[in-house]
């Protein structure tokens, strides 16, 4: 793939719709190498750039954050580490929230109360924002 590609060819090579590629262009996340006859042309390196964009999105980065990393890497080559560290902290916070949600849902399924609102464990979780341990009917931790 040494030739320049049209947006359709880049789309086919990456599995990313051409509309998404255009959207990323408007955000300056990807830039065509050149234009020929008014058509965008991309280099083979753009396949990797698209893959990196998708990977960053899969890791939870917003397009704004990805754009910030791209812009700042020229002025502050190691700034991306701070941004990745902040994203990692955010992911850890969300995982903790999801763990609490899973505990609540598991407790709700195991609870012997017909109405979860009457469950002492659920009431305790409501009082402390879901950060306490779950207890079974006997008062023992689950």
pLDDT digits (tens, 9 = 90+) for 49-87: 999 999 999 999 999 999 988 887 777 878 788 888 999
Q: Does residue 142 register a pLDDT over 80?
A: no
Nearest to 132 by CA among 108, 103, 109, 89: 103
The CB-side HSE value for 1 (13 A sphere, CA atoms) comes to 15
More confident: 39 or 130: 39
Instruction: Give pLDDT, residue 1.
Output: 47
Structure tokens at 112: 């012997």
CA angle, 84 then 89 then 90, to 5°: 95
At 24, the pLDDT band (50, 70, 90 cuts) reads very high
Q: Chain-centre distance of CA 105, in angstroms? A: 24
At 134, the pLDDT band (50, 70, 90 cuts) reads low
Contact 41, 5 (CB under 8 A): yes
Q: What pTM was estimated for this model as a whole?
A: 0.69
* Site of tokens 């023992």: 140
Question: What average pLDDT does this structure show over 13-35?
Answer: 93
Answer positive or negative: Cα dihedral of 79, 85, 89, 94. positive
C-alpha 70/C-alpha 75 separation (Å) is 10
Residues in the chain: 142
Q: Does residue 35 register a pLDDT over 80?
A: yes
Neighbours of 40 (CB within 10 A): 22
Q: Does residue 132 register a pLDDT over 70?
A: no
pLDDT digits (tens, 9 = 90+) for 83-111: 889 999 999 999 998 998 888 888 888 88
C-alpha 25/C-alpha 42 separation (Å) is 12
């Amino acid at each position: 793939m040494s030739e320049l590609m049209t947006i359709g060819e880049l789309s086919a090579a990456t599995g990313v719709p051409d509309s998404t590629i255009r959207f990323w262009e408007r955000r300056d996340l990807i830039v065509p190498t050149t234009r020929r006859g008014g058509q965008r042309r991309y280099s083979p390196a753009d396949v990797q750039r698209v893959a990196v964009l998708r990977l960053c999105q899969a890791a939870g980065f917003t397009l704004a954050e990805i754009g910030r990393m791209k812009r700042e890497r020229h002025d502050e080559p190691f700034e991306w580490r701070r941004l990745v560290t902040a994203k990692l902290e955010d992911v850890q916070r969300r995982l903790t929230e999801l763990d609490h949600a899973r505990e609540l849902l598991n407790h709700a399924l195991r609870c012997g109360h017909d109405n979860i609102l009457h469950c002492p464990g659920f009431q305790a979780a409501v009082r402390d924002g879901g950060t306490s341990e779950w207890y079974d009917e006997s008062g023992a931790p689950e």
